[in-house]
């Protein structure tokens, strides 16, 4: 199982998107929704992410 970088949900390997930048930073996304939102939004501000629930 891989963990989504954006929402924190676990998802099966072979699905979702793995994004690697030129700098070598690896990002795992469970869905296109997470991939798109990661470019413009902070996961701490979105209720459907696990990072929102964990924020202090």
Q: Which residues in this chain contact Zn ion in the complex, by CB under 5 A?
A: 4, 6-7, 30, 34
Tell me the sheet residues that pair with 17: 29
**Nearer residue to Zn ion within complex by CB, 23 or 50:** 50
DSSP state letter for 15: B
Residue 16 C-beta: closest distance to Zn ion, Å: 7
What's the half-sphere exposure (Cβ side, CA atoms, 13 Å) at 51? 14
Residue 22 C-beta: closest distance to Zn ion, Å: 23
**Nearer residue to Zn ion within complex by CB, 22 or 38:** 38
CA distance 45 to 38: 11
């Amino acid at each position: 199982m891989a963990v989504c970088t954006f929402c924190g949900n676990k998802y099966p390997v072979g699905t979702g998107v793995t994004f690697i930048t030129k700098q070598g930073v690896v990002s795992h996304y469970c869905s296109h929704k997470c991939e798109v939102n990661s470019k413009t939004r902070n996961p701490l501000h979105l209720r459907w992410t696990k990072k929102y629930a964990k924020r202090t």
